[in-house]
Chains A and B, each alone.
Chain A
Amino acid sequence: MSKHYAIIAEYDTPADIMAAAEKVHAAGYEKWDVHTPFPVHGMDDAMGLDNAKVGWFTFFGGITGLTVGMLMIYFMNKVDYDIVVGGKPLFSGFYAFPVAYEMTILLGAFGSLGGMFILNRLPRHHNPLLINDRFAAVTDDKFFVVIECEDPAYDEAVTRALLEGTDPQHIEMVEDAQ
């Protein structure tokens, strides 16, 4: 059994989809998205999206790296195996800095990539869009507006009419194969 998942409209150019996105945003939809082969500049504004929150993941990753790096060196060279080398102090933030700095960057980078995946709810391999044939061109040269049927404002006839008003190349219903 299959049920409707979303209605998709296909466009040829970034300008067309930008105009369409503004109209769909103005119509007050929530569960909708724009799919493009590359990030289109100005699309976040057209869709009414705020700033991405990935930075928090990077920040906490970096803080963790710096803390872990410093504490690790303190524990290893001052507490657990305290041996004097060259008359230098057992612990100093200066000699510990290069390693802690690399750890900051390492965990910050994992935070950025991981944060991107978490915020995007990826990996998601069962997406109904991925079995639609026309939609395959989204990673090539076509642009799509997708309005999910679960959207509170969704009504098959009204939504279709709205999308037809944006001058698309093609409109199609995507089924969710159960």
Chain B
Amino acid sequence: MSDVVGQSLQSVETHTPKELERQPLVLNNRPLGWITEQVCSILEGKMPKWWNVAFVVSFLMMLMCFGYIGYLVTTGVGVWGLNHPVAWGWAIVNFVFWIGIGHAGTLISAILFLLRQKWRCSINRTAEAMTIFAVICAGIFPGIHVGRIWLAWWLFPIPNAHGIWPQFRSPLLWDVFAVSTYFTVSLLFWYMGLIPDLATIRDRLRIAGKKLNSGLDWMINRFKQFTYGFFAMGWTGSNRHWRNYEKAYLLLAGLSTPLVLSVHSIVSFDFAVSQVPGWHTTIFPPYFVAGAVFSGFGMVLTLMIPMRVLFKLEEIITIRHLELMCKVIIATGSIVGYAYGMEFFIAWYGGNPYELYAFKNRAFGPYWWAYWIMISCNVISPQLFWFQWCRTSPWFIFVVSIFVNIGMWFERFVIVVTSLHRDYLPSSWGYYSPTRVDILTFVGTFGLFMTLFLLFVRYLPTIAISEAKGVTPQADPHHELGGAKPKQEGSRL
């Protein structure tokens, strides 16, 4: 029967007009070994000059971030611009911004996997790494905004001398569990995907090490063999192992999907469960999740467009990949735009004067500029991707992706600050401005993020090698490039 299926597939292939053929996921019909070579040579060779420069700059920015955190801890939260009534300032804005960035990585690795989107294989490794680093940056802010950072462990249910426990009715505590679970599961998923590729590097190091007898190079080679080999867990590509591996991968994808939806839903509960006009709305969970995926894809594109050029990965991360990511940006950007509109509609239709005031104040109050930056970056700029030229010109996508990052940061600023700066008592109305410490701590987290990311491209494979191979026709035993002989009798092939 499979013979018949094979033949009909073939006839479909031969009768497909050239212009309707799907562009392959790895261009130019490269052999399997080429993918290994292309990806591994990045981390086996010396890093180019730009990497060193970028690393030094990022590292200094990271030190600045830690320096300002030290200043905050030793001095007190008064060094931030917080006031009454705006007691949640940039710390929460930055937290939600970074945690949102992470969501694209999980969407690509888990949801697109469940939806059988094979194009994810070229970009999932980098996107997952981005998730982990973004969650690290996000995790800093709730930790430091508690003021007395040495008491941050009170967030966790740890037995203590006071004999008290955390109060689980608070969404803030749900958030602690959501974010720490999200980080742990993302790390497990990422590590599991890395195992076969770490084995590839281990085996290449072993063969390369044969030519070295002694000396420093030999010692470095042995050290690397040990380290990569240790984390590769003795992987041999056994099919009996792949069988369990693929099942575990599927299950982790199945677990990560509800996880990623729950994480930003719970982040939105931090706002929605309160009674503040502008926060107390049921639209928040889906609206936050869509916004998170939107901002995350913005960041994925910001990172991946330079990376594919600088490391010559254009044949693995193709224009088609960029175009598909742009389509996700249109979809999620439009959902976000719809949510903005719907919030206004409900504020009017709901008949609650405080709610209506909060929204009028967002668009035309003292923070009107933040609101309109948000609208132009998040609602208008992604609509350009309806034009094919815009979706297929990398420099143009890069520019729009920067706008998306900016817009999504401002979305969180608008939500947090404009809702808080007006209270039910006009006597407590105020205006919030960040201080130098607020601004430079946030800028510094980009240094932390980029430092981690640069170390990742330096020491780990940026493309999931085994997965990228798996989606090529050379990997398909029923394809001629995979060695299939269609006319052979008596075989399932």
Give chain A's interface residues, CB within 8 Å of chain B: 12-19, 21-22, 33-44, 46-47, 49, 51-55, 58, 62, 72-73, 76-77, 80-81, 83, 85-86, 88, 95-96, 98-99, 101-103, 105-106, 108-110, 112-113, 115-117, 119-120, 122-127, 129-130, 133, 135-141
Once A103-B181, A141-B32 are accepted as A-B contacts, the answer to whether A14 and B475 lie under 8 Å apart by CB is yes
- Are A127 and B236 in touch, CB under 8 angstroms? yes
Evaluate whether A98 and B177 lie within 8 angstroms (CB atoms) in the complex, with A14-B483, A33-B240, A112-B251 already known: yes
Q: B247 contacts which of A16, A55, A101, A138 (Cβ < 8 Å)? A: A55
In the assembled complex, the CB of A115 is this many whole angstroms from the nearest CB of chain B, namely: 6
Q: How far is the CB of A165 from chain B (nearest CB, A)?
A: 14
Closest partner residue, chain A, to B491 (CB atom): A19
Q: Which A residues are CB-close (under 8 A) to B247?
A: 51-52, 54-55, 116
Knowing A12-B483, A98-B178 are in contact, say whether A41-B476 is a contact too (CB < 8 A): yes
A14 with B236: CB separation less than 8 A: no
Given contacts A37-B237, A120-B238, 11 further A-B contacts (CB under 8 A): A12-B483, A15-B477, A15-B485, A42-B478, A47-B239, A88-B169, A105-B256, A106-B181, A116-B248, A138-B237, A140-B204
A136 touching B236, Cβ below 8 Å: no
Cβ-based interface call for B241 (8 A):
yes
Measured CA separation A109–B235 after assembly (Å): 20
B257 → chain A closest CB, angstroms:
10
Residue of B nearest to A59 (CB): B251
A15-B493, A109-B189 in contact; A122/B207 too (CB < 8 A)?
no
A23 to B344, CA, bound (A): 68
Which secondary structure dominates chain B's binding surface? helix
Q: What are 21 A-B contacts with C-beta separation under 8 Å?
A: A13-B483, A15-B482, A22-B491, A38-B196, A38-B237, A38-B469, A49-B240, A52-B244, A77-B167, A98-B178, A105-B262, A109-B184, A109-B252, A112-B255, A120-B244, A125-B229, A133-B207, A136-B204, A138-B236, A140-B33, A140-B200
Q: How far is the CB of A86 from chain B (nearest CB, A)?
A: 7
User: A-B pairs with the 8 shortest C-beta distances?
Assistant: A13-B483, A15-B483, A76-B165, A52-B247, A116-B248, A141-B32, A123-B233, A141-B33
Decide if A122 touches B241 in the complex (CB within 8 Å).
yes
A141 to B483: give the CA distance in the assembly, Å.
Answer: 13
Whether A49 and B243, one on each chain, are in contact in the complex, defined by CB atoms closer than 8 angstroms, is yes
From the candidates A42, A76, A138, name the one contacting B168 in the complex (CB within 8 A): A76
Q: Size of chain B's interface in residues, with CB distance under 8 A? A: 76
A12 to B31, CA, bound (A): 11
Chain B positions 160-204 with a Cβ under 8 Å from a chain A Cβ: 163-169, 171, 173-174, 177-178, 181, 184-185, 188-189, 191-192, 196, 199-200, 202-204
**Docked-complex contact B168 and A120, CB < 8 angstroms:** no
Residue of A whose beta carbon sits closest to that of B196: A139
* Complex CA–CA separation, A17 to B169 (angstroms): 57
B168 touches A95 (CB 8 A): yes
A138 proximity list for chain B (CB < 8 A): 203, 236-237
Q: Given B239, B245, B493, which contacts A35 in the complex, CB threshold below 8 Å?
A: B239
- Are A39 and B470 in contact (CB-based, < 8 A)? yes
Least Cβ–Cβ distance between B125 and chain A, in angstroms: 14
> B233 near A102 (CB under 8 angstroms)?
no
- A127 & B192 in contact (Cβ 8 Å cutoff): no
Given contacts A15-B485, A80-B165, contact A113 B248 (CB under 8 A): yes
Kindly identify which residue among B188, B210, B482, B491 contacts A14, using a CB–CB cutoff of 8 Å. Answer: B482
What residues of B have a CB within 8 angstroms of the CB of A135 in the complex? 236
| B240 x A120 contact (CB < 8 A) | yes
Which of A36, A42, A98, A105 neighbours the largest number of chain B CB atoms within 10 Å of its CB? A105
> For residue B258, which residue of chain A has the nearest CB?
A105
Query: Which residues of chain A come closer than 8 Å to B467, judged between CB atoms?
Result: 38
Set of chain B residues within 8 Å of A36, measured between Cβ atoms: 237, 239, 242
Nearest-CB distance from B33 to chain A (Å)?
Answer: 4
Please state if B466 and A37 are interface contacts (CB–CB under 8 Å): yes
Which residues of B (32-90) have their CB < 8 Å from a CB of A?
A: 32-33, 36
Task: Provide the residues of chain A in CB contact with B199, threshold 8 Å.
Answer: 139
Asked whether, in the complex, the Cβ of A112 is within 8 Å of the Cβ of B236, the reply is no
Task: Name the residue of chain B whose CB is nearest to the CB of A122.
Answer: B233
Question: How many Å from the CB of A16 to the closest CB on chain B?
Answer: 5
Q: Is B157 an interface residue (CB 8 A)?
A: yes
* B residues 257-272 in Cβ contact with A at 8 Å: 258-259, 262, 266, 269
Name the distance in Å between B426's Cβ and chain A's nearest Cβ.
Answer: 27
Contact A54 B184 (CB under 8 A): no
A176 to chain B, nearest CB (A): 14
When distances are taken between beta carbons in the complex, the residues of chain A under 8 Å from B196 are 37-38, 139
Q: What B residues does A76 contact at CB under 8 A?
A: 157, 165-166, 168
Q: A103-B177, A141-B36 are in contact. Are A98 and B262 (CB under 8 A)?
A: yes
B487 an interface residue at 8 Å Cβ cutoff? no
Question: Closest Cβ of chain A: how far from B141's Cβ, in Å?
Answer: 19
Residue B475 contacts which of A35, A40, A119 (CB distance < 8 angstroms)? A40
How far is B229's CA from A139's CA once the two chains are assembled, in angstroms?
Answer: 13
Q: Are B165 and A123 in contact (CB under 8 A)?
A: no
Q: Say yes or no: is B327 at the interface (Cβ < 8 Å to chain A).
A: no
For the complex, give the distance between the alpha carbons of A21 and B243 in Å: 15
Contact at A73–B168, with CB atoms within 8 Å?
yes
CA distance A28 to B485 in the complex (A): 25
Most buried by A among B31, B32, B239, B262: B239
**Contact at B483–A85, with CB atoms within 8 Å?**
no
The chain A residue with its CB closest to the CB of B164 is: A81
